[in-house]
Amino acid sequence: GVNYIVHKYFERARLKEASIYPAAISAHCLHHTKAMHLLENGVNLIYIRDLLGHTSVTTTEIYSKANPEVKRKHIEDASRIRDISLDYSTEEKEELLEWLKNSI
């Protein structure tokens, strides 16, 4: 029933502006989109799992692997936590660069 309703209104919208809509849509597509929006807004995977009705969080983890923007955001956040460039002197950095140049 949900697919019927989704297709009905999707076709109506596509008739008005065909160029901006994909060729098809499904209830599962909306399901996936909602999970991605929740993940992007920082909702824990356990809650997303429960909302989607998955029995295992490993099924829900697929959503966390799908969006590179979410990965980029978390990497940036983690890099702000600790700046390792402050841990080494200029001399130590130059020694490491020299060693890398000679070793590679």
Under DSSP, is residue 11 helix (H, G, I), strand (E, B) or coil?
helix
User: Tell me: the pLDDT tens digits for 77-92?
Assistant: 777 666 666 777 888 8
Where does the pLDDT of residue 59 fall: very low under 50, low under 70, confident under 90, or very high at 90 and above? confident
Question: Whole-angstrom Cα distance, residue 16 to residue 72?
Answer: 36
Q: Coil, helix or strand for 24?
A: coil
pTM exceeds 0.75, yes or no? no
pLDDT in tens, 6-56: 888 888 877 776 666 677 777 788 888 888 888 888 888 889 889 888 888
- DSSP codes of every residue in 29-98: HHHHHHHHHHHHTT--HHHHHHHHT-SSHHHHHHHHHH-HHHHHHHHHHHHHH--GGGGS-HHHHHHHHH
- Residue carrying structure tokens 């402050």: 86
